[in-house]
Chains A and B, each alone.
Chain A
């Protein structure tokens, strides 16, 4: 296996581990009541002036984003398993790329909704604060679309490979 693929695999694995730990920690902090915004930043929102429902509404969006992101990263990790076995063009890789790309897009879209919800509920200047997270989600969207483009290229490559394999 090439060094670049090995490095990608290691970094991805480390990132998934840290990210999963962060998600678990955040869940623990949220459900034990440690993670609340100061009341001065709190404003009336979808659930009136109830802090907990507002926070948990945001938390659900955040958790969904995390689940989709971790799932899509795990799929990318699974793809590298095929590279280990020298299988570069298989229908399974195409399916994984398609699923991973769609999950990245879902991560970006849910992330945008979560950002709007969070900033609307818990920040003083929502529009200013939303700018950077939007760029972050936009990059994830581009990543997802890029993976879908690679999936199309893989489809074509698989077709050429099967033609090549069946040329006697």
Chain B
């Protein structure tokens, strides 16, 4: 896929665990795992907003476009 999710990189930078983030943004760890692994087909603005707020970052820090 052309869109890469760099959520694990941001989590490592902020020294935060997936479980913690899932609890803060209010989604299940299973869904967060889908997002991290790149299996997700779409992301809601509300989820993106919550992730950015929790990790104190910009959407571009989490999502990256790479040409195939």
Chain A residues within 8 Å of B, Cβ to Cβ: 162-163, 166-168
Contacts and interface: CB of A to CB of B under 8 A. Distances in A.
Interface residues of B, number: 12
A162 B39 CA distance: 11
23 contacts: A162-B41, A163-B41, A163-B42, A166-B34, A166-B39, A166-B40, A166-B41, A166-B42, A167-B40, A167-B41, A167-B42, A167-B43, A167-B44, A168-B27, A168-B31, A168-B32, A168-B34, A168-B35, A168-B40, A168-B42, A168-B43, A168-B44, A168-B47
B5 to A, nearest CB: 10
Chain A binding surface SS class: mixed
A162 B42 CA distance: 11
Interface in B21-49: 27, 31-32, 34-35, 39-44, 47
Contacts of A163: 41-42
Contacts of B39: 166
Contacts of A166: 34, 39-42
A166 B39 CA distance: 7
Given A167-B41, A167-B42, 10 more contacts: A166-B34, A166-B40, A166-B41, A167-B40, A167-B44, A168-B27, A168-B31, A168-B34, A168-B35, A168-B47
Listed residue (B27, B35, B39, B42) with the most chain A CB atoms within 10 angstroms of its CB:
B42
Nearest to A166: B41
A167 B43 CA distance: 5
B54 to A, nearest CB: 14
A167 B39 CA distance: 10
Contacts of B47: 168
A52 B41 CA distance: 64
A167 B41 CA distance: 6
A151 B44 CA distance: 30
Contacts of B27: 168
Nearest to B36: A168
B8 to A, nearest CB: 15
Contacts of A162: 41
